[in-house]
A and B are shown apart, each in its own frame.
Chain A
């Protein structure tokens, strides 16, 4: 699913529909829970019978044939609890028989507050049917602790589940809990890297990675990892964010040597791929606290790049430098303002027209804030009721 439908912690239905595993692909815990007990009939006697007769005799069924919980002898003591949607259900899902059966028994376990191994096995089935059921995950965690289960085995389990469904909130949260209980992050960086190798921008993966690194102080090799990812895809915005994360939490950007290194690194990436928005945002992001206009020689370098590596991002960056200059310097206001307004108008009219309304606004704001009061294209001065319609407010900045 897109990480956006994550807002509602749901999964992409397209992907889900395609992922119906065959019985043979199911993990071991599934097969074992479906098998009936075998009897003690001697093998000599069995050989003379047909397969079906043998099966019927010993009650041993095809291990790949699913058996509903309602038909399992070892669950006969538990009364299933059907879902109560109320009298006239809405948004009623046409659950498969299997789904209904598993969840009827899950509700029964919950009702009785049963803490047992069979309950644990059932949670795995319930999770497989809907890995977004956070109530089941919570119950599973309660069971793991109450039954003092082997958490190393749980790590293996959650690893497999995440590989299969890496865009689900619950699976990552569960892994975090198990790592915390074990107090062992040793597998994490490698595991997350493996998931990122399949989708280098998986938001949950990055969230887990940042948590592990911060919690267990695993900063040392992360910058190297980020550089590797940026080598592979210099447009990976998640990697640029991670770069910022690491540096902010280790050396920081106040050391001029570090800042300069990062500026040089960024300019190098810009030259390679000038239309990569991420690097321009990064460059601005690291310089804005100090002030874009304060970095010596930067304006000159950008103006140089404008000739050979121009892009809407470069032009926007120039606007930002000029704006910072206007904010922090008292001289040359008219000249700098004029250049800034010219760029805003160029962006709005030609170079970045999808953001026409935005660049027009920026131009008007600069004009209002830094323009002299007798300028010919004044917008309404502060204090005038903005509720009065004014065509001038729509006029693009002067060229």
Chain B
């Protein structure tokens, strides 16, 4: 295990040289980029001042190394699991997501969830389950693949029999068939939009709960691969700009379906490696856009998947200790720039905290701390050892033990037999509104 107490990359002499070069041609892109770099420079400079003060008091002594504000994040998460302000009305159709973001953050922090609360989450998610299968954003709402993904993940994190029993597997399977399209893609909900997120959500829940049938994902790999574009990354649908979130969804779905080699892995690797910002250390979602803490997972999380795929393909030149991104730089970005002192994590300095960014900044921090290759495990912890988070499964983004446990449980059950016709071609009409 490697513990980096100093020096920090962002304190290095060469760090300033990594700032954006606009070639004297100012555009909206370069102006925005430079604004962000200035704010990062400010954060680093303030941190440096605190770092270099004589350690005369205990308070300053604890500030010498980047510190994950565990207690503060824990309080923020603990409260949010019960109560949220009216600012969260805009997430009223995403409440299973709130459960997942908070529970996953707690599991990364290795904070146990009290049995009573876990049971309450189960009962709540049961209220979100649709009578026709799948989970909705809240009670009495329509089923949707995104909250379905979140609900199943949350239940697997809880991992009790009660949690597993909430899921109606037969109905879930019929829901998946009801959103399946003839071209291999999935709509997010009846009467809803298609994009590559849906394939990941479907593949994730189907594989965890053991409801995959031979035809469920027919033509899906081909469709996902058609989302890979000239940049090397994947867009939301074929033709669109390569984007970190969609790329993660597409790649992870293909890994689940065992078809990751259908992608051009080399060009995908080049694209994602290029998304790490040389100055900030964090990742951008698309070329020539700004850094954002959540891409610490969506983008950096691709590297473990690529590592595994390349290894499976017979590549013998892969590192045995490191992912193909700058792990230290990413950790520094998250720890110095993405923490709210009152708890919670965020996009970039100046932005508000929220549970989505808390989840994905912590998930990215975990990816950056843990290298794993078969039976090899190598850790790189920036700052104190107490910053160490639990490792996360690179495909499902819940802890690996929870994945194994869920798969083990559901594989004891038989795959449900699809009740209705397997592929509904009329499933995206507006007439249907269960």
Answer yes or no: B281 CB below 8 A from chain A CBs: yes
Answer yes or no: B302 CB below 8 A from chain A CBs: no
CA distance A243 to B127 in the complex (A): 47
Q: In the complex, are the beta carbons of B193 and A133 less than 8 A apart?
A: no
CA distance A93 to B99 in the complex (A): 12
Answer yes or no: B35 CB below 8 A from chain A CBs: no
Chain A 263-290 per-residue mask, 1 if CB under 8 angstroms from chain B, else 0: 0000000001111111001100110100
CB-contacts of B397-420 with A (<8 A): none
Chain B 208-235 per-residue mask, 1 if CB under 8 angstroms from chain A, else 0: 0000000000000000000001110001
Chain B 286-304 per-residue mask, 1 if CB under 8 angstroms from chain A, else 0: 1111001011001000000
Chain A 111-142 per-residue mask, 1 if CB under 8 angstroms from chain B, else 0: 00000000000000000011111110011011
B87 touches which one: A8, A17, A133, A361 (CB < 8 A)? A17
**Chain B nearest Cβ from A188, distance in angstroms:** 16
Q: In the complex, are the beta carbons of A206 and B240 less than 8 A apart?
A: yes
B285 touches which one: A2, A129, A200, A277 (CB < 8 A)? A2
Given A235-B27, A387-B375: A93 and B139 interface contact (C-beta under 8 Å):
no
Answer yes or no: A50 CB below 8 A from chain B CBs: no
Given A5-B294, A135-B141: A357 and B92 interface contact (C-beta under 8 Å):
no
Q: In the complex, are the beta carbons of B127 and A206 less than 8 A apart?
A: no
Chain B 265-284 per-residue mask, 1 if CB under 8 angstroms from chain A, else 0: 00101100110111001000
CA distance A16 to B92 in the complex (A): 13
A88 touches which one: B27, B120, B142, B324 (CB < 8 A)? B120
Answer yes or no: A159 CB below 8 A from chain B CBs: no
Q: In the complex, are the beta carbons of A141 and B191 less than 8 A apart?
A: yes
CA distance A238 to B295 in the complex (A): 18
B354 touches which one: A13, A142, A379 (CB < 8 A)? A13
CA distance A203 to B285 in the complex (A): 11
**Chain B nearest Cβ from A243, distance in angstroms:** 10
CB-contacts of A167-188 with B (<8 A): 169, 172-173, 177
CA distance A381 to B117 in the complex (A): 54
Answer yes or no: A215 CB below 8 A from chain B CBs: no
Q: In the complex, are the beta carbons of B94 and A8 less than 8 A apart?
A: yes
Answer yes or no: A210 CB below 8 A from chain B CBs: yes
B187 closest partner in A (C-beta): A173
Q: In the complex, are the beta carbons of B318 and A361 less than 8 A apart?
A: yes
CB-contacts of A329-355 with B (<8 A): 352-355
**Chain B nearest Cβ from A352, distance in angstroms:** 7
Chain B residues with CB under 8 Å of A84's CB are 127, 139-140
B229 touches which one: A8, A201, A214, A241 (CB < 8 A)? A241
Q: In the complex, are the beta carbons of A273 and B25 less than 8 A apart?
A: yes
Q: In the complex, are the beta carbons of A237 and B289 less than 8 A apart?
A: yes
Answer yes or no: B352 CB below 8 A from chain A CBs: yes
Chain A residues with CB under 8 Å of B138's CB are 83
**Chain B nearest Cβ from A387, distance in angstroms:** 6
Q: In the complex, are the beta carbons of A13 and B352 less than 8 A apart?
A: yes
**Chain A nearest Cβ from B148, distance in angstroms:** 12
Chain B residues with CB under 8 Å of A17's CB are 87, 352
**Chain A nearest Cβ from B106, distance in angstroms:** 13
CA distance A90 to B288 in the complex (A): 39
Answer yes or no: B250 CB below 8 A from chain A CBs: no
CA distance A394 to B324 in the complex (A): 12
Answer yes or no: B44 CB below 8 A from chain A CBs: no
**Chain A nearest Cβ from B334, distance in angstroms:** 15
Answer yes or no: A356 CB below 8 A from chain B CBs: yes
Chain A residues with CB under 8 Å of B237's CB are 207
Answer yes or no: B314 CB below 8 A from chain A CBs: yes
CA distance A245 to B124 in the complex (A): 45
Q: In the complex, are the beta carbons of A393 and B317 less than 8 A apart?
A: yes
B274 touches which one: A173, A355, A379, A394 (CB < 8 A)? A355
Answer yes or no: B74 CB below 8 A from chain A CBs: no
Q: In the complex, are the beta carbons of B142 and A4 less than 8 A apart?
A: no
Q: In the complex, are the beta carbons of A13 and B88 less than 8 A apart?
A: yes
**Chain B nearest Cβ from A89, distance in angstroms:** 6
Which of B50-58, B169-177, B241-249, B253-261 participates in binding chain A?
A: B241-249
Answer yes or no: B71 CB below 8 A from chain A CBs: no
A142, A361, A383: which has the most chain B beta carbons within 10 Å?
Answer: A361
A89 closest partner in B (C-beta): B124
Q: In the complex, are the beta carbons of B23 and A272 less than 8 A apart?
A: yes
Given A135-B137, A277-B288, A361-B319: A130 and B92 interface contact (C-beta under 8 Å):
yes
Chain A 1-32 per-residue mask, 1 if CB under 8 angstroms from chain B, else 0: 01111111111011011000000000000000
Given A203-B241, A238-B241, A384-B316: A132 and B27 interface contact (C-beta under 8 Å):
no
Answer yes or no: B184 CB below 8 A from chain A CBs: no
Which of B14-22, B60-68, B335-343, B388-396 participates in binding chain A?
A: B14-22
Q: Interface size of B by Cβ–Cβ distance < 8 Å? A: 115
B433 closest partner in A (C-beta): A142
B241 closest partner in A (C-beta): A241
Chain B residues with CB under 8 Å of A103's CB are 92
Given A87-B123, A99-B86, A241-B229: A357 and B239 interface contact (C-beta under 8 Å):
no
Given A13-B352, A95-B86, A135-B137: A235 and B288 interface contact (C-beta under 8 Å):
yes
B273 closest partner in A (C-beta): A358
B287 touches which one: A107, A210, A277 (CB < 8 A)? A277
B14 closest partner in A (C-beta): A353
CA distance A95 to B92 in the complex (A): 9
Chain B residues with CB under 8 Å of A368's CB are 316-317
**Chain B nearest Cβ from A265, distance in angstroms:** 15
B357 closest partner in A (C-beta): A5
Answer yes or no: A232 CB below 8 A from chain B CBs: yes
A231 closest partner in B (C-beta): B27
CA distance A346 to B252 in the complex (A): 33
CA distance A206 to B239 in the complex (A): 10
CA distance A234 to B88 in the complex (A): 38
Q: In the complex, are the beta carbons of A354 and B278 less than 8 A apart?
A: yes
**Chain A nearest Cβ from B316, distance in angstroms:** 5
CA distance A356 to B241 in the complex (A): 26
Answer yes or no: B73 CB below 8 A from chain A CBs: no
Q: In the complex, are the beta carbons of A281 and B23 less than 8 A apart?
A: no
B144, B288, B320: which has the most chain A beta carbons within 10 Å?
Answer: B288
Given A85-B139, A94-B85: A358 and B317 interface contact (C-beta under 8 Å):
no
Chain B 103-140 per-residue mask, 1 if CB under 8 angstroms from chain A, else 0: 00000000000001100110110110000000011111
CA distance A141 to B14 in the complex (A): 57
B126 touches which one: A86, A110, A207, A356 (CB < 8 A)? A86
Given A93-B88, A386-B311: A201 and B27 interface contact (C-beta under 8 Å):
no
Given A272-B25, A277-B287: A10 and B94 interface contact (C-beta under 8 Å):
yes
12 contacts between A and B (CB under 8 A): A2-B347, A4-B294, A88-B120, A90-B121, A91-B95, A133-B93, A241-B230, A241-B241, A281-B287, A354-B278, A357-B325, A383-B316
Q: A92-B83, A285-B229 are in contact. List 15 more A-B contacts (CB 8 A).
A: A7-B146, A8-B97, A10-B91, A90-B120, A94-B86, A96-B89, A135-B137, A203-B243, A244-B230, A281-B287, A357-B322, A357-B324, A360-B319, A361-B324, A382-B316
Identify the 7 closest CB pairs spanning chains A and B, nearest first: A285-B230, A235-B29, A233-B27, A364-B317, A241-B241, A91-B98, A358-B273
- Chain B residues packing against A (C-beta within 8 Å): 14, 18, 20-23, 25, 27-30, 80-95, 97-99, 102, 116-117, 120-121, 123-124, 126-127, 136-142, 144, 146, 150, 188-193, 197, 229-231, 235-237, 239-245, 249, 267, 269-270, 273-274, 276-278, 281, 285-289, 292, 294-295, 298, 311, 314-326, 329, 347, 351-352, 354, 356-357, 374-376, 430-431, 433
